[in-house]
Structure 1
Amino acid sequence: MAASESDRDPLEEDVRVSSLEERLVSAQTRERIKAGHRNKGPDESQRLGARVLSYLIGGVAAGFVLGWIFDTWLGTTPMFLLLFFFLGTGVAFRKIYMISSQPVDDIGTALTDDDD
Structure 2
Amino acid sequence: MRADIVWWDLSASGQTIESMREYLREESVDAFSEVPGLRFKMWLSDPDTNRWGAVLLWESEEASRQALPSRALELIGYPPQVAHGFDVEATVEGRHETQRLALQGLAFAEATRSKRFRG
**Same fold by TM (over 0.5)?**
no
Name the structure with the higher strand share: 2
Name the structure with the higher helix share: 1
TM-score range, shorter chain: under 0.3
- Comparing both chains, which one has the higher relative contact order based on Cα–Cα distances under 8 Å and sequence gaps of 6 or more? 2
User: Radius of gyration: which is bigger?
Assistant: 1
Normalising by structure 1, we get a TM-score of 0.25
